[in-house]
Amino acid sequence: GENVEQHPSTLSVQEGDSAVIKCTYSDSASNYFPWYKQELGKGPQLIIDIRSNVGEKKDQRIAVTLNKTAKHFSLHITETQPEDSAVYFCATQSHYKLSFGAGTTVTVRA
């Protein structure tokens, strides 16, 4: 099956700074790359996604980049705020199967 590696596993940033999470994958058939945010006591919520025919996508303070040749994609959060503190998961989707990274716990220090 698909192997998705996510780094770092924990990330602490000062409020207002940027946060970057990186993921690599192995299945070249993967065509859809969502990012989920999971807050305590809640299920994962989709925050942004990118499809294989797009290299970059931005939504306000969140951006995702994709390099299909190198099989890696990244999440960038700018101007971090305390409410950005959560666990972030990258995922790849081949057909209908989502394969998740192990997650990054992001803590935004006030």
Q: Which residues bind another protein (CB under 8 A)?
A: 4, 31-32, 34, 36, 41-46, 49, 51, 89, 93-103
* Comparison of 103 and 108: residue with beta carbon closer to another protein: 103
CB 56 within 8 A of CB 28: no
Q: How far is the CB of 2 from another protein (least distance, A)?
A: 10
The strands making up 72-77's β-sheet, listed across from edge to edge, are: 4-7, 19-25, 72-77, 62-67, 56-59
* Comparison of 80 and 89: residue with beta carbon closer to another protein: 89
Integer Cα distance of 61 and 82 in angstroms? 13
Q: How far is the CB of 94 from another protein (least distance, A)?
A: 7
Q: How far is the CB of 100 from another protein (least distance, A)?
A: 4
Integer Cα distance of 3 and 65 in angstroms? 19
* Comparison of 32 and 61: residue with beta carbon closer to another protein: 32
* Comparison of 7 and 100: residue with beta carbon closer to another protein: 100
Integer Cα distance of 24 and 21 in angstroms? 11
